[in-house]
Amino acid sequence: MGLKEQTLKQKIIDYSQTIGIDKIGFTTAEPFEDLRLKLYQQQMLGYQSGFEAKDLEKRSNPKLIMKEAQSIIAIALSYPTKLDERPKNSKESRRGSFARVSWGLDYHQILKERLAKLEEFIKRHVPDAIVKSMVDTGELSDRAVAERAGLGWIGKNTNLVTKEYGSYVYLGEMLTSIPFEPDRPIGDQCGDCNLCVEHCPTEALVQGGQLNSHKCIAFLTQVKDDIPEPYKKAIGNRVYGCDTCQQVCPYNRGVNNHFHKEMEPDAEKVKPLLHSLLQLSNREFKETYGDMSGSWRGKKPIQRNAIIALGNYKDTTAVHLLLDIIQNDPRPVLKHTAVWSLDKIWARLDEKKVQETESKIHKILEKETEDKKLCRMLHSLLKKHRVSSL
Active-site residue list: 136
Question: What radius of gyration, in Å, describes the C-alpha atoms of the chain?
Answer: 24
Count CB atoms within 10 A of the CB of residue 296: 15
Give whole-number Cα distances, 168 to 66, 176, 322, 353, in Å.
29, 26, 36, 45
Which residue from 153, 142, 167 is spatially nearest to 245, judged by alpha carbons? 167
For residue 52, CA distances in Å to 100, 139, 152, 232 come to 21, 8, 22, 24
Q: Minimal CA–CA distance to 312: which of 92, 96, 87?
A: 96
Beta bridge partners of 162: 166
What are the phi and psi torsion angles at 188 (to 5°)? -60, 135
